[in-house]
Amino acid sequence: MMKVTLIGAGNLATQLGKSLHRAGVEICQVFSRTEESARTLAGLLDADWLTDVSRLRSDADIYVLSVKDSVLCRLIPEVCKGRGDKLFLHTAGSMPMRCFEGQARHYGVLYPMQTFSKKHEVCFADIPVFIEGNTQETEEQIRSFARRLSRRIFSLSSSDRQYLHLAAVWACNFTNYCYGVASKLLSEHGIPFDVMLPLIDETTRKIHKSAPAEAQTGPAVRGDRNVMRRQLALMDGRSDLQELYRLISAGIGEEASATHAAPDEESH
Amino acid sequence: MMKVTLIGAGNLATQLGKSLHRAGVEICQVFSRTEESARTLAGLLDADWLTDVSRLRSDADIYVLSVKDSVLCRLIPEVCKGRGDKLFLHTAGSMPMRCFEGQARHYGVLYPMQTFSKKHEVCFADIPVFIEGNTQETEEQIRSFARRLSRRIFSLSSSDRQYLHLAAVWACNFTNYCYGVASKLLSEHGIPFDVMLPLIDETTRKIHKSAPAEAQTGPAVRGDRNVMRRQLALMDGRSDLQELYRLISAGIGEEASATHAAPDEESH
């Protein structure tokens, strides 16, 4: 039976640990600097917990580090030392595989493309998982481990993974920022945010079927300068939003003229 | 039985016409400057079609104008003239109700908050519909008409409707632009866009339950300057995207410090 120790007890570690546990993987230990986090997750996974990395045992086959980027580099030497036959993985989108270099013989990356929260269960099986190993043999070992989690496994280099992570910032964090601006505009005029949800759901649904550039609608893709001028005026006193509105509208306009694609939609 | 004539045969008019037809409303005529559009929609609705507005009949109770903003003002006098007892509605988010002023006695706005395409069926019943009438009596008449379409009807002034429309641009068009940037970054590195879909779906799903500011994740809300610096470097040669990245990240950072809310998530 495969044995895993989790370094980190945050959102990703929590969902990863639960999915592994459900898949029949034994979780040996859960480490977190925060006792409550370590204890809580370990409790869910029938594992031991620790807050002092020097108490880490060597009975696991795989050590998975799911911690903040800034903590990762500091923890790697302590976790790898004296465990030369083990496999070490991190789960960070923006950290290269080589941060294990000189610290371990078998190492790599397992990066799931999803946003995680502790409380909110996710179905790992559908999450694309991007893997990388320091040798072909290690990568195959990581692949068979990843298969316990997901059906969608891709090999990806550290270099390309950076762009994947950047794309996720645009697709997730920056779209969420746009929702936030919409929410603020509505609340200032007494309109509940939930009137936007059918529109948001439909926008999301459309890109399951069409490329984003083809699905684009609204004043910018129509080149409707009157509407754009009036909308800019509505944000008077918010020069930051006006600047974003100008830049994004220009980007949409350029994209439309570059693709020569007639917009598919007429309203919004 | 209520009779409606549609002025316009675009995406919104198509979906509106079909929903009215299903609800048992008789559609008398469909006008479009484009013969094919008029003929196609009229065919679906068992209605007559016309491309010459002077051939408009006066047998409808309600005339709904769903045309481009730039065309609306020009068409209103021609449509309203000699039909003083009729009700006239437009469906434009950014046009005030007063564009009917002096042209009609009974008029108003019916603005459905959704993005429409001709081919893609929508369930009108769940779409929030925003109405406005030039008198209280007219508004009640519009409300009972709107009830045939949707369960979610709100009264909204022309002034506030502008902000609703602006919010829709942020929540729909600008998020779609972000998807487009993500798509481009991925394709440049040989990664298929559909690996983003679980993340995008989850991001959308979260704002059904949490306010956008509370749901925010990623380097900007964590204040992770190292990641942000590296990500900016990945967009070298795309100063437009770098500028957007800086502005949106700054916006996310300010929002986080303003709300003092601890981010709910740790990884994307």
pLDDT digits (tens, 9 = 90+) for B42-57: 999 999 999 999 999 9
Predicted local distance difference test score (pLDDT) of residue B260: 57
Does A238 lie at the interface with B, CB-CB under 8 angstroms?
no
Which pair of tokens denotes residue B216? 């925010």
Does A181 lie at the interface with B, CB-CB under 8 angstroms?
yes
Closest by CA position to B113, among listed B90, B97, B89, B130: B130
The CATH architecture annotation of domain A162-259 reads: Orthogonal Bundle (1.10)
Does A11 lie at the interface with B, CB-CB under 8 angstroms?
yes
Q: Are A113 and A152 in contact (CB under 8 A)?
A: no
- Which contiguous run of DSSP H or E holds residue A79? helix A69-80
Backbone angles phi, psi at A253, to 5 degrees: -60, -45
A chain contacts of residue B218, beta-carbon cutoff 8 Å: 168-169, 172-173
Interchain proximity A212–B183, CB inside 8 Å: yes
Mean pLDDT for A40-53 is 97
CATH number for the B3-156 domain, one of 3.40.50.720, 2.160.10.10, 1.10.3720.10, 3.40.50.11540?
A: 3.40.50.720
B chain contacts of residue A164, beta-carbon cutoff 8 Å: 186, 189, 191, 195
Does B185 lie at the interface with A, CB-CB under 8 angstroms?
yes
Q: What is the mean pLDDT of chain A?
A: 94
Predicted local distance difference test score (pLDDT) of residue B122: 83
Predicted local distance difference test score (pLDDT) of residue A260: 57
HSE-up (13 A, CA, CB side) for residue A250 = 10
Q: Are B128 and B152 in contact (CB under 8 A)?
A: yes
Q: How many helices (H) and strands (E) does chain B have?
A: 11, 8
Mutate to test the interface with A, among B163, B175, B206 (most CBs of A within 10 A): B175
Cα dist from A69 to A36, A94, A108, A185, B235, whole Å: 21, 8, 15, 35, 21
Degrees to nearest 5, angle at CA B178 with B185 and B11: 120
Mutate to test the interface with A, among B170, B225, B246 (most CBs of A within 10 A): B170
pLDDT over 70 at B265, yes or no:
no
Rounded-to-integer distance, Cα B208 and Cα A185, Å: 18
- pLDDT tens track for A167-192: 999 999 999 999 999 999 999 999 99
Closest by CA position to A65, among listed A54, A75, A51: A75
Q: Percentage of chain A with pLDDT > 90?
A: 88
Does A201 lie at the interface with B, CB-CB under 8 angstroms?
yes
Cα dist from A136 to A87, B155, B197, whole Å: 13, 63, 29
Mean pLDDT for A193-217 is 95
- ipTM beyond cut 0.85: yes
Domain residue ranges of chain B, discontinuous segments joined by +: 3-156, 162-259
Rounded-to-integer distance, Cα B253 and Cα B230, Å: 17
CA dihedral of residues B20, B26, B28, B31 (deg, nearest 10): 10
